[in-house]
Structure 1
Amino acid sequence: MFTVSVLSQLNSLPIYLICGTIVLFVIVMSVFFMVRAWRAGTAIGMDKAKLRRVVTSSCTFTLLPSISILLGVIALSGSLGVPLPWLRLSVIGALHYETSVADIAARGVGLSGLNASEMTLKAFTTIALVMSVGIIWSLIFTALFNKGYLKKLQTPKKAAKSGGKSFGDYAMNAMFIGLVAAYIGSYVGTYTSTGDYMPLIVLVVSALVMAVFTFFIEKKNLVWLENFSIAGSMLAGMASAVAVGALV
């Protein structure tokens, strides 16, 4: 009964109004700049038919990746309510960031994870604060250093001496591998301590599906599959959890 009360408060009308106002502001701002871009294009003599094709293709390639974002909202809404995940993933959040940081913050306040049965208002407040503070630095750094960064991007890039890759490429790969290793370690630890093998099954199935997507994208040049890779991997992992749960 307590869990229902907590989730009802997280899905209350005031929370929807607060989050909806922010999302509406972002939508209005996007439409404003879209109209300005259209007018600027016509002002310099661009063909309106080409502009319409650009708008259509942009909308198409924007809607397809949003499938994975929708799945992220659904996954987080069970423990955090709908408004906060909706706001975070609609404005500035990223799927891999929001889910991982929310889980880390939940474990930091003493929960076993993002479990609706354990969620409290204090835990929710801490999780929301950690998610917001963790992502706000991108806005601050953009406001302070974006001008210099743009100048660097406009400068012709020199190939790195070793294999054509820069330090940033290696750093990003290393950070991603470290993140994956941390998750795998936590899943193995969960299995050895509690015997729960479901996270490992979901991990293996999702990784295999992502590997299939990567094969077709890189080897068969089906680049358009990138829009479906995350969503497809998530759906396959969810389906495997449901199937194994029904069989066991």
Structure 2
Amino acid sequence: MDSGQWTVDSERGPSDLIRLLQWVFGTIRVELGELCTFTRGNGLQKKDFTEEGYPVIHYGQIYTRYGFSTDKTISFTGQNVFAKLKKAKPGDIVMATTSENVEDVGKAVVWEGNEEVGIGGHSCALQTEQSSKFLVYYFQSNDFQQQKEKMVVGTKVIELYPKNIQKILIILPSLEEQSRIVTILDKFDELMTSISQGLSKEIELRQKQYEYFRDTLLNFPDKYE
């Protein structure tokens, strides 16, 4: 084995092998496609929205209206449309795969509601046995962003196809360490939200502090450089 980097090449399930490698190496580097099952969204348009009904997430809302997680949706649709949509289950990640800029494409939100949520086109649901919240935070890290920038296509409309997302390498600590990192970053996210109505300079300062601690927490040993 080479520095803990691994690809699925065994008849054993990937989850068992990931746990074994984490036990041996502590932190390993794994392709996202080996951590998650991807489901591409379909069919949801803004004209399908209703005042109430079944919960849905539109791809454009992921980078304009949602934070890192949510247990409630901004939009709803009727039964007929909802029945045709692909779904994300509680604990799944919903990722935007289309945007007008590189920064927003690939942004994601963890669905923490108590029921399935419908997802539309230009998005996909990621189901994982790892910490969904950890992965969503990792998607904002410098390491992920640098890899993502090499895989997007388009100029006016930027696309990040699931087949390419799956190739992005994730530096993955143990579930215990993932939980510790999420707890710290959640506190910073709550702080940023609580001062969102404050002075612009204070917001800018706290944002820089948050980004510093985020990148520090998600910056793992140099053996992967």
By the TM > 0.5 criterion, same fold? no
TM-score normalized with structure 1 length: 0.24
Q: Which has the higher contact order (CA 8 A, sep 6+)?
A: 2
Higher radius of gyration, 1 or 2: 1
TM-score normalized with structure 2 length: 0.25
Going by fraction, where is strand more abundant, 1 or 2?
A: 2
Going by fraction, where is helix more abundant, 1 or 2?
A: 1
